[in-house]
Chain A
Amino acid sequence: MKSIEIFSEYYKYFLRGTRATVVISLITVIFGSILGCILALMRLSKNKPANTFARMYIAVIRGTPLLVQLYIVFFQLDFISYPKMTLLGLDLERTLPCIIALSINSSAYVAELVRAGIQAVDIGQSEAARSIGMSEAQTMWNVVLPQAIKNILPAIGNEFITMIKETSVIQYLGVADLMYNNGIVITSTYNPLPSYYITATIYLLLNLVMGRGVTLFERRLQKNER
């Protein structure tokens, strides 16, 4: 098996790349989700400017390719002085714009999911909360959001899996993620296919673990109600 040979020789590259991909994915998923929730609330708010902004943001981000967004963020935000240092083998000057672009991208999709989740919660739940004197924010936080998130968890898991795979575009900015290291190995072995198999297997494993995590969380929320 050529793949096993190549992996045992170059495993350091693959592991280094995997670590970078995992770290970047996790950060993206967290920021993307927070930003997505905020956008969903803006999208549902009666405040006209907030509502219009969220609508346009979602339309633009969903309507343009991630790779294009990545380059635009990279060149447009070049006035930011990112720290000139490396962390976990990652050059922050290149990695941070990637995380920003990925989070922005993910947030638009999360926002639509969260919005659908909130709208699917029976209006009676909020009316009951308001009728005991809770404010709009208290109602959202204590009653509506917990139920909305439970409803959309499978779809959110899907979005996280997509995000892990999509991080592979950051190799084009020279960020040393899994795909980038995969390229390094190919240039030194002159044998692309085994490397691609290894890389595919690693992405698959990451997503199986992620999927499992979401399922466990889902089950825990469900146990709360049965």
Chain B
Amino acid sequence: MNADRQTVLEIKNLRKDFGELEVLKGVDATIKKGDVMVVIGPSGSGKSTFLRCVNRLEQPTGGQILFEDQDICSSNNDINKLRQKMGMVFQQFHLFNNLTVLENITLGPTKVRKLKPAEAQEQAMQLLDTVGLREKASIYPSQLSGGQKQRIAIVRALAMKPDVMLFDEPTSSLDPEMVGEVLSVMKDLAESGMTMLVVTHEMGFARHVATRVVFMDDGLIVEEGSPEEIFNHPKRLRTKDFLSKISTAF
């Protein structure tokens, strides 16, 4: 691996607790440009909280997150500015219900990046083409299937021209026949060189698309390595245990 790639995200000793409940107990991770880091682990292991801390949807209780060398928790840095460069895709899609598909995609570019509406629309249509949903531009989210919603949510995030994309269990609330269409968009994105941090239960995706796999349990990173290392030669007992429980599904 090429070591001189630019570091996009550097997470040091990240801690998060909700009152008594310690969810993250000191997580360290480094993500370089072009990395596709997939986070796996049992429910309640802190994967989603970890992801949500990265763009400060959750306020970390301790530690440090550097995004392109800027501390996201520092009051000197405008979090709204930093978030523009971090796209996020949610489990429940969260498309804006009051706006059409096209407006969903152009809202950020026009309000935040201050693009001209015509420019933003043209860019949005091009992005819609890449996910094969151009003809849905003028309808409202309530008329879309889950898979379509999620592809549009990905496009909405991409319209901000992010440097990194965060995926929070993007396929977990989809009907099985729609999982493929979303994963294939994510795979294309990964192949185009996008830096990605993905929390997922899709082991096939982790195995074939990830450049690095992280196994989290109980608020800590237990093991980290290439897909080959994690899936075929896990070193830690907990990783083996977790993989053996889910392997029946494959």
Partner of B96, one of A128, A133, A226: A128
Q: Which residues of B contact A226 (CB under 8 A)?
A: 140, 142-143
> How many Å lie between the Cα of A147 and that of B96 in the bound state?
9
Known contacts A124-B90, A127-B57; A135/B80 CB under 8 A: yes
Which residues from 96 to 117 on chain B have a C-beta closer than 8 Å to any C-beta of chain A?
96-99, 107-108, 111-112
Known contacts A134-B80, A134-B112; A127/B90 CB under 8 A: yes
- Contact present for A224 and B112 (CB under 8 Å): no
Residue of B nearest to A149 (CB): B98
User: A85 to nearest B CB, angstroms?
Assistant: 44
> How many Å lie between the Cα of A133 and that of B111 in the bound state?
9
Q: Which residues of A contact B153 (CB under 8 A)?
A: 128
Q: Which residues of A contact B97 (CB under 8 A)?
A: 125, 147, 225
Q: Which residues of A contact B57 (CB under 8 A)?
A: 127, 130-131
> How many Å lie between the Cα of A133 and that of B156 in the bound state?
12
Binds A, one of B9-17, B81-89, B212-220: B81-89
Q: Which residues of B contact A215 (CB under 8 A)?
A: none
Q: Which residues of A contact B82 (CB under 8 A)?
A: 133
Partner of A131, one of B83, B92, B98, B107: B83
Known contacts A131-B86, A132-B84, A226-B142; A147/B98 CB under 8 A: yes
Residue of A nearest to B85 (CB): A133
Residue of B nearest to A129 (CB): B96
- Contact present for B90 and A146 (CB under 8 Å): no
User: A151 to nearest B CB, angstroms?
Assistant: 11
Q: Is the contact region of chain B dominated by helix, strand, or loop, or is it mixed?
A: mixed
Q: Does A142 contact B (CB under 8 A)?
A: yes
- Contact present for A138 and B111 (CB under 8 Å): yes
> How many Å lie between the Cα of A14 and that of B146 in the bound state?
58
Which residues from 40 to 90 on chain A have a C-beta closer than 8 Å to any C-beta of chain B?
none
- Contact present for B90 and A128 (CB under 8 Å): yes
- Which one of B57, B87, B157, B160 has the highest number of Cβ atoms from chain A below 10 Å of its Cβ? B57
Q: Which residues of A contact B143 (CB under 8 A)?
A: 226
> How many Å lie between the Cα of A39 and that of B95 in the bound state?
28
Q: Does A150 contact B (CB under 8 A)?
A: yes
- Contact present for A132 and B96 (CB under 8 Å): no
Give the interface residue-count category, chain B: 20 to 34
Q: Which residues of A contact B99 (CB under 8 A)?
A: 143
User: A128 to nearest B CB, angstroms?
Assistant: 4
- Contact present for B90 and A132 (CB under 8 Å): no
Using an 8 Å CB-CB cutoff, how does the interface string of B153-186 with A read, 1 for contact, 0 for none?
1001100100000000000000000000000000
Q: Which residues of B contact A146 (CB under 8 A)?
A: 98
> How many Å lie between the Cα of A133 and that of B56 in the bound state?
11
> How many Å lie between the Cα of A167 and that of B107 in the bound state?
41
Q: Does B240 contact A (CB under 8 A)?
A: no
> How many Å lie between the Cα of A116 and that of B97 in the bound state?
18
Q: Does B235 contact A (CB under 8 A)?
A: no
User: A124 to nearest B CB, angstroms?
Assistant: 4
Partner of B108, one of A124, A134, A224: A134
> How many Å lie between the Cα of A96 and that of B157 in the bound state?
50
Residue of A nearest to B111 (CB): A138
Q: Which residues of B contact A132 (CB under 8 A)?
A: 83-84, 87-88, 107-108, 112, 156-157, 160
25 contacts between A and B (CB under 8 A): A122-B94, A124-B90, A125-B94, A127-B90, A128-B90, A128-B95, A131-B55, A131-B57, A131-B86, A131-B87, A131-B88, A132-B88, A132-B108, A132-B160, A133-B83, A133-B84, A134-B111, A142-B96, A147-B98, A224-B140, A225-B97, A225-B98, A225-B140, A226-B140, A226-B142
